[in-house]
A and B are shown apart, each in its own frame.
Chain A
């Protein structure tokens, strides 16, 4: 296939298809099935391995996603921060550490869902597909960080303008056309994940009660009495 045509498809058509799918289907699903906006927590079914999977995964992916968003919104300031090598290294090591934290958590999530029969029962094929995509995307991101450093700087110079060109409805693929295959894969998979987002449990991101991140512990108790207790009282 002609490379130019392939680039137009991967970096112009596909992003718009994925972004439109994301916006339209997210609203559509919220209107049609409000109660399906949930992460469908399995915490009550298994709680021992839960911590080592879900907590690293969530804090890792939140920081990494926020980092990508910040570099997209204020690329000049990122370049200014990186203008001293020590600061550049600090930023890159922190990003890699959170990337690895995400990977550790994600492996934990997948192992927990696979090894526990109760959790496996409530895991749908869509969930498995989503875990596969997130795994590829996270591993791909770490590989990009290791083999094509320093992403925080070249994201600001090349990818931020490309993404802005997409949002300004005037796509300029020159910024990404010559990028290494790993980087191109990471970009394409990011858009595919965004497009797949409204069909998955990821929608809970949009309705998350944010105070969960810092609120004090809450004790959840069963309201009903156990049959043995009732028997004893009779």
Chain B
């Protein structure tokens, strides 16, 4: 391609442009020249300046959208404090309802000073990593599930949350007491219902994803369950019994599960059924993932091979015969 200066000073440039097609062609050449300029060409002409003005407008639009990304979350921060507690804290804490994954927050401001609490709430990981003894104790009591860094939780919001906790702690029964789980003995019906919930046959009432999406059990059929999370065959023993597994299901506290179930909590009756299923499988051996994985891979591979031959059967007349026949005919003519 010729340099920009030569192209713009070319004699062709001064010829009258008769048709719209010619004009469009000339414009495209000018644009190509400008593209070259961006890569280190010569000074710009009037059309080039017009195009640069377009680039500036495009850039400004980009900056405006970028600015909006910082303005938008400001609206989210204006969320009500009780609503914020309900959506972000109740997964792991109650106020007067007993421990879940995290401790019961009733009278927490009497157990520890506010400055420490605010600091911990805003950046729990930093406090834990600093080796703070109280933070380490909380972590151990929470089965080593660390408190996540919550979106929009700054010092001001932490202070308002502590005010709310203080006020709720003084009430005979807080609105944040949490779910109360049945202590009734498990039945066969509970265990069957728990398995159906695990597999997804019975949908979780609040719309959460079925357990099979990420977990497997010893008796999950065919290709087994998901492997994003751990095998749950022996989870009843791992979490040390009915009370703590119920508390876990009430407020799944891992960073992967928390955002899923934050807005789709598992109901008390569903927790009862799932716990019954987990208790029944406690003595079984976990599923073997390698066999399921090989079966899955081979089935997928068979499908891919079938697709390749299927596409060949569908398209061979287009991609093989037509052009190949033409080329062969041309070759034959050449020999004659």
Contact = CB atoms under 8 A, between A and B. Distances in A.
Interface of A: 4, 16, 20, 23-24, 27-28, 31-35, 47, 50-52, 55-56, 59-60, 76, 79, 82-86, 88-89, 92-94, 96-101, 104, 145-150, 153-154, 156-158, 161, 168-172, 174-175, 177-180, 217, 219-221, 228
Interface in B298-336: 299-304, 306-308, 311-312, 315, 317-320, 322-324, 326-327, 334
Contact of B226 (A20, A56, A153): A153
Interface residues of B, number: 74
14 contacts: A16-B66, A32-B31, A50-B319, A56-B307, A88-B212, A92-B223, A149-B226, A150-B214, A153-B210, A153-B214, A158-B256, A169-B69, A171-B69, A174-B259
Given A4-B125, A177-B255, A33 B35 contact: yes
B40 interface: no
Contacts of A146: 293, 296-297
Interface stretch (B5-13, B50-58, B104-112, B233-241): B50-58
A55 B319 contact: yes
Contacts of B32: 32-33, 35
Contact of B222 (A89, A148, A219): A89
Contacts of B308: 52, 56, 101, 104
Contacts of B199: 85
Contacts of B73: 169-170
A24 B62 contact: yes
Contacts, number: 179
Interface stretch (B171-179, B180-188, B200-208, B280-288): B200-208
B303 to A, nearest CB: 3
Contacts of B293: 146-147
A31 B320 CA distance: 37
Contacts of A168: 72
Given A24-B58, A158-B256, A147 B227 contact: yes
B209 A154 contact: yes
Contact of A219 (B213, B258, B315, B322): B322
